[in-house]
Amino acid sequence: MAIDDRSPAILVRELRKTYAVPEREPGLRAALGSLVRRRTRQVEAVAGISFHVSPGEIVGFLGPNGAGKTTTLKVLSGLLHPTAGEVRSLGHVPWQRDPAFLRRMTLIMGQRNQLAWDIPVIDSFELNRAIFGVPRDEYRQRLTELTDLLELGELMRKPVRNLSLGERMKCEFAGSLLHRPEVLFLDEPTIGLDVTMQRRIRAFIAEYNSRTGATTLLTSHYMADVEALCRRVVVIHHGTLLYDGDLTGLVARFSPHKSITIDLEDGGEGLGERIPALVGPPEWIVSHAEGRLTLRVPRSETARLTTRLLANLPVRDVIVDEPPIDEIIDLVFAGRAGPAEVPPA
């Protein structure tokens, strides 16, 4: 996807971040020797990625562990200096730490505590209000809004250390959004939460984006987060860009197959010999048991085969579906996508 220079909220061009990692052999002699002469190895965490995020977008930023996602978010939020490349966030160079920029963004990292551990949540919120200089009238209005959206209720009076992980993450969101940031960097915000709490956090992020128009860059290993919130995804691996586009395009580009599930009338009794002949190649049949036929067929053959099966079998129900998005992502990261499927960065 070509970079659009018309005032993107986030702009990244050829971003690179290289670390010098110390190395030594085990043992006392090697430890003493490293005091005199340290040996290092260059590790490229981010290797020249480029993308942009338009104002108001929620973009999924995907990659396996070690792909460079968190490093990129830390550069975008001003915690790290890049080795090379151009980065702009809301028109600012993030690592210059301009107060005008810091008042307009927030970084929320799953299971990383920003609130004071031993004091009530409401006191931490008051501290954030003072730090960001939020007027009291605006603070009270925003606090009421966030309390209603996140159902904080009695949590406000409890010390942070007495909260469960899910309760703490809700309070982390509220505390990080009191200054009404225009850009949200969310790094695994639902990690470790149960399914119900993940759903609540997702609903909150969507509602906050709808109400405020905040630009959001989201990393997550839970594909449910991405499917629920993001129309567009940026996929990186080994620090390089693999894909930048809409979610449906990712599935179409990297998965050459679709799945067909057919429920047969009367359990498909007496059809055992006819089905393989109708389907074609035996490797297309995933399973056939208890009146349910499951197929995995080339995308180009889906319509023709479905029509033939409907015409020749007593079909009660049929479902034609894309493979799960997490299966596609695993396929990409495992390097099993063919050359034709991998787009140029």
Q: Is the pLDDT of residue 325 over 80?
A: no
Q: Give the pLDDT band of residue 69 (cuts 50, 70, 90).
A: very high
Q: What is the pLDDT of residues 126-180, one digit of tens each?
A: 999 999 999 999 999 999 999 998 989 889 999 999 999 889 999 999 999 999 9
The predicted pLDDT at position 157 comes to: 92
CA–CA dist 93, 90 (Å, integer): 9
**Of 208, 227, 251, which residue is a domain's last?**
251
First to last CA, the chain: 8
Across 292-317, average pLDDT: 91
CATH code, domain with 299 = 3.30.70.980
Q: What DSSP string describes 221-289?
A: S-HHHHHHH-SEEEEEETTEEEEEEEHHHHHHHH--EEEEEEEEGGGGTT-TTHHHHHH-SGGGEEEEE
Give the mean pLDDT of 278-299.
Answer: 88
335 — pLDDT class (breaks 50, 70, 90): low
pLDDT of residue 336 exceeding 70? no
In this structure, the answer to whether residues 98 and 190 fall within a common structural domain is: yes
* Model pLDDT, residue 270: 67
pLDDT(339) > 70: no
Q: What is the pLDDT of residue 345?
A: 34
CATH (domain of 67): 3.40.50.300
Q: Are residues 28 and 92 in the same domain?
A: yes
Q: Of 227, 251, 275, which residue is a domain's last?
A: 251
* Order of all β-strands in the sheet with 39-53: 39-53, 10-23, 84-89
pLDDT at res. 155: 92
Q: What is the mean pLDDT of residues 6-10?
A: 85
Q: Identify whether residues 261 and 236 lie together within a single domain.
A: no
Residue 273 shares a structural domain with residue 212: no
Whether residues 83 and 198 share a domain: the answer is yes
The answer to whether the CB of 236 falls within 8 A of the CB of 343 is no
- pLDDT tens profile 181-237: 999 999 999 888 888 888 999 999 999 999 999 999 999 888 889 999 999 999 998
Assign 1 a pLDDT band (cuts: 50, 70, 90): very low
Is 333 inside any structural domain? no
More confident: 91 or 271: 91
Domain annotation covers residue 291:
yes
Residues 59, 98, single domain; the answer is yes
For residues 203 and 316, membership in a common domain is answered with no
Structural domain includes residue 156: no
Residues 303-314: tens digit of each pLDDT:
999 999 999 888
| Confidence at residue 3, expressed as pLDDT on a 0 to 100 scale | 43
Whether 5 is covered by a domain: the verdict is no
Q: Distance between CA 133 and CA 184 in Å, rounded?
A: 19
Rounded Cα gap, residues 283 and 128, in angstroms: 59
Same domain, 74 and 203: yes
Same domain, 229 and 299: no
Contact indicator for 312, 218 with CB cutoff of 8 Å: no
Share of the chain above pLDDT 70, in %: 94
* Count of domains for the chain: 2
Euclidean distance between CA atoms 267 and 147, whole angstroms? 52
The predicted pLDDT at position 257 comes to: 86
Does the structure show a pLDDT above 60 at 93? yes
* C-alpha to C-alpha distance for 81 and 218, rounded to whole angstroms: 21
- Identify the weakest region by mean pLDDT among 40-44, 169-173, 220-224, 337-341: 337-341
Same domain, 239 and 265: no
On whether both 231 and 269 belong to a single domain, the answer is no
The answer as to whether 172 is a domain residue is no
19 and 92 in a common domain: yes
- Residue 4: which pLDDT band, with cuts at 50, 70 and 90? very low
Lowest mean pLDDT segment, chosen from 7-11, 29-33, 157-161, 316-320: 29-33
Place 249 in a pLDDT band, splitting at 50, 70 and 90. Answer: confident
Let me know if residue 199 belongs to a domain: yes
Q: Could you list the residue range(s) of the whole structural domain that residue 311 is in?
A: 256-321
Q: Confirm whether 165 is domain-assigned.
A: no
- pLDDT value, residue 130: 93
Domain annotation covers residue 316: yes
Q: Are 44 and 208 in contact (CB under 8 A)?
A: no
**Cα–Cα distance measured from residue 136 to residue 156, given in angstroms and rounded to the nearest whole number:** 17
pLDDT at 340: 33
